[in-house]
Amino acid sequence: MAFELPKLGYAYDALEPYIDAKTMEIHHTKHHNGYTNNLNNAIAGTDLDGKSIDDILTNLELDNAAVRNNGGGFYNHSLFWQVMNPEGKGRLSGALADAINDAYGSFEEFKTAFSKAASTRFGSGWAWLCVHKGGKVEICSTPNQDNPLMPGIGCGGTPILGLDVWEHAYYLNYQNRRPDYINAFFNVINWNEVERRYNAAK
């Protein structure tokens, strides 16, 4: 059973002006599609074929570079599309809001810490908000297409919010201004989906 490139829940231009349509289209149809196809090629005929992506990543052998890079890329982008939506839909509330306040003091301090994790990731990678069993949340970041589900990656828990800081995610619109892209991301976070993931994983 091959993995399939998931459809977006909105149009490519739905996140404008924060993320432009051309970036979204290339990111989805070229980059994410490439990870999907390469993952399928990497697991074809192996004992990973037929397993869920969560199962593959949770039990990953880190020296399996093809599955690490492409399985991570498949999972990370699938999450990324879902934790965004057009402006104004969904607000941070409930148990997740409480967990963020408990861990960071306020939403503004959380935003500062998440933005720092994203802006200081050297080269390519991701910033994450993860939840640990019991409900505690934690910010971390990973290089390349690594992912908090991968064992021993130094960034643990279940990811519930992720931000792609590879240049391909922002270069057309923001060029080298990664901090502007990070700031814009906060206008399109789908907090309903992040909270759903929090409640499912805590």
Contacting residues toward Mn ion, per CB under 5 A: 31, 164, 166, 169
Task: In angstroms, give the least distance from the CB of 105 to Mn ion.
Answer: 31
Exposure class string for 57-83: b at 16+ Cβ within 10 A, else e: beebeeeeeebbbbbbbbbbbbbbbbb
Q: What angle do CA 156, 157, 161 make, to 5 degrees?
A: 105
Among residues 99 and 118, whose Cβ is nearest to Mn ion?
118
Among residues 166 and 181, whose Cβ is nearest to Mn ion?
166
C-alpha Rg value of the chain to the nearest Å: 16
Among residues 101 and 124, whose Cβ is nearest to Mn ion?
124
Task: In angstroms, give the least distance from the CB of 70 to Mn ion.
Answer: 12
Task: In angstroms, give the least distance from the CB of 68 to Mn ion.
Answer: 15
For residue 62, the Cα-to-chain-centroid distance in whole angstroms is: 19
Q: Which two tokens stand for residue 179?
A: 């901090």
Nearest-CB residue for Mn ion: 164
Task: In angstroms, give the least distance from the CB of 120 to Mn ion.
Answer: 18
Among residues 31 and 132, whose Cβ is nearest to Mn ion?
31
Q: Which two tokens stand for residue 79?
A: 């999450």
